[in-house]
Amino acid sequence: MFLHIGGEYVIPVKNIIAIMDLETTSISKDTKEFLKIAEEEGFIEGITDDIPKSFIITEVDKKSKIYLSAISSVTLQKRAGFSSGIKNYIDK
């Protein structure tokens, strides 16, 4: 299954490590430092000119890539089916 993360970008769901809300997670000093280092090392890719609302951490062939998306983390998680998967896991 693939996830449309904005613009012309579609990524395989199996490559996603995390979908994070940019506003709430960037409050943390550690997250700010993580994103700063990732940007300096070229791991971050902005996919839109709009203000990013979320970031998606992916890994392919043991290489990490972080996408900045203008789509909210909640919407992306719903699109990916993560929330229903979590609910099904909890209900078991």
* Residue 87 confidence (pLDDT): 44
Supply φ then ψ for residue 4, to 5 degrees. -80, 120
What contacts 24+ positions apart, CB below 8 Å, involve 28-35? 35/66
* Residue 84 confidence (pLDDT): 53
In whole angstroms, give the CA distance from residue 89 to residue 56: 22
* Residue 90 confidence (pLDDT): 41
* Residue 73 confidence (pLDDT): 94
Mean pLDDT in order along the chain per 10 residues (92 residues): 92 94 92 95 92 95 95 92 52 44
* Residue 83 confidence (pLDDT): 54
